Every structure is written in structure tokens, then in C-alpha cells.
Amino acid sequence: MAEPAPAPQQTIALVDDDRNILTTVSIGLQAEGFATRVYSDGAAALKALLENPPDLAVFDIKMPRMDGLELLRQLREKSALPVIFLTSKDEEPDEALGLAMGADDYITKPFSQRLLVARIRAILRRAELIRGVVESAPSEPASEVIERGRLEMDPARHHVTWLGKPVSLTVTEFLILEALAARPGVIKSRNQLMDAAYSDDVFVDDRTIDSHIKRLRRKFRAVDPHFSAIETLYGAGYSFTDG
């Protein structure tokens, strides 16, 4: 009996003007089984990404000639390629703009290689789920949609609405919100939310959850200024109320 063919290698494009980061991250991703392509110039990267798309791209925001935001803007005119931003701690406005423009997630420098690999795999899994839903036969049952009052979440399509209006979330934000909405009124500690959003072998500071919650609230308040469904229980954690 013939052995099944191995799954094709997934390709990650890295765009950063720091060649040390390109080399280090590329080697790390190759050790995890990915193929990599590296670009130190945004303009050259854009042409290559459109002509020969990888499975996912990682952009630095601050680059000469064409920065990551402009690269994403031009890419989004023609492609829905998954993109992760690398940002510095003082780049929050740029990071928020990048997410609004269609980036899938962000990672703050200095970052853990394990965290980057975990985020890449999460986004690639989501992309595969979406493709599977689109390509599945009509006879297959639809995935369960979560409805909590004014909130609706479709995990298979990674689609979220509030009051019928779409809200664009990163993979991490979606997983945190899903964990909260699964049991309305139940307090979830930061550790529980980290377990929901990150794999077991990834360490992040628990205050990272606070930053994600702030961004979640900001995004929902952009469509509903009176949004208050995510409550803070000081010293305990967060809960979701669908009232």
C-alpha cells in the first residue's frame, strides 16, 4: 500500500529592513517546518507577494521607502493574504491602523519565536477552516454560530457582528472574546483567557490580556459607542454580559 504523500510545505514571507531579524526568524521558521522567503524592501516584497503569493506574510511596520502600513494598503487592493505585523511598544496608533486596514494580528518587539510560530499556525488554521467552509458540500452541517444578545460569532468563518454590524478581530481577540461569550456572566481570570488564546508552550505576560481587552472594547465601541458587554472584575478577571 502506497504511503500518503507528505503535506506541502507552507511558505512564510518575511519583510523587514533588519537583516539580522530576517535571518534569525527565517532560520527559526525553517526549523519548525516552514519554507521562507525574505525581503528587506517593501516595494520589492509587494511585487513578489502578488506574483507568487506565500501562505502568510510577516511585515515590520517601520521600513524605509515603503513601510509596512503602505505595503499592507497596496496588498489589500488585490489580495487577502494573511498578514502579521511586527510592532514596537511605541507604535500602538500604527498597529491599530494596520489592524483596521486588514492585518490579521500583531506581535510586539522584542518577541518570542515560539509566540510568532503559535500566531502563524493559528492564522493558517483559520484560513484553512474558512477554505473548508467555502469548499464544503451543501449537505455538510454548518458550524455552530454563537449568539449572545447583540453579539454573533461564527468561529468557522472568523466572523463577528454586533447589532448586525461587522467587527474585525485578530485571531487572539476572537479567541478571547469566544472564551468570554461561551459562558456569559462567568468571570474568567487572565490565566484562563491566556489558556484560551495561546498554546501551552507559549509564555506571555498576563497584562497582555488587558491590552487585548482594551482593543476589543475600542473596536466594538467604534460600531456602538455604548458598548459595555465586557466587564472588568478588579482582582478577578473579565466577564461577558449579553444583557
pLDDT at 105 over 90: no
**Residues of CATH 3.40.50.2300 domain(s) within the chain?**
11-132
CATH topology of domain 11-132: Rossmann fold (3.40.50)
pLDDT at 228 over 90: yes
Q: How far, CA to CA in Å, does 176 sit from each of 49, 145, 172, 188, 190?
A: 31, 16, 6, 10, 10
Query: What pTM did the predictor assign?
Result: 0.62
pLDDT tens track for 161-180? 999 999 888 777 888 999 99
In CATH terms, 146-240 corresponds, of 3.90.1150.10, 1.10.10.10, 3.10.20.600, 3.30.465.10, to 1.10.10.10
pLDDT at 1 over 80: no
pLDDT at 6 over 80: no
Q: What percent of the chain has pLDDT over 70?
A: 81
**Residues of CATH 1.10.10.10 domain(s) within the chain?**
146-240
Q: How does residue 152 score in pLDDT terms, banded at 50, 70 and 90?
A: very high
